Homo-oligomer: A and B are copies of this chain.
Amino acid sequence: MKAYDYDCPVEATLEVIGGKWKATCLYYLIEGPKRFSELMELLETASSRILSKQLKELEEHEVIKRKIYSEVPPRVEYSLTDYGKTLLPLIEMICDWGERRLEKTGKKAIYNESH
């Protein structure tokens, strides 16, 4: 067993937000709770299996919470926890830097177009 878990604290953060869709999910959750299907639509190219896995991991890291409504058809809403909200400035900074990089590289993001 190792004496340390990380080389540097930055790794502890990347472990939480570093999955393929995680930061993007968090970003979309900033504006408020979203259901599974809403996230699916926003993350056009993600499969439901992967998305649900990433959401589960975010939940395990306690940055989002999952609320189940006992209805038919089923309804589930994901939202940021208080702890997750501490990530907010970080996520926004990540998004800002990404936007500048889009300008620099000429690449495009769906999100940018729809705003």
Interface string of A67-98 (1 = CB under 8 A from B): 00000000000000001001101110111111
Who on chain B is nearest to A61 by CB?
B101
The main secondary structure of chain A at its interface with chain B is helix
Query: Which residues on B sit within 8 Å (CB–CB) of A83?
Result: 104
Who on chain B is nearest to A96 by CB?
B9
A42 to B44, CA, bound (A): 39
A46 to B96, CA, bound (A): 30
CB contact under 8 A between A109 and B45, given known A13-B95, A90-B97, A101-B13: no
CB contact list, A14-50 vs B, under 8 A: 14, 16-18, 21, 23-24, 27-28, 42-46
Tell me if A1 counts as interface (CB < 8 A to partner B).
no
Query: Which residues on B sit within 8 Å (CB–CB) of A46?
Result: 7
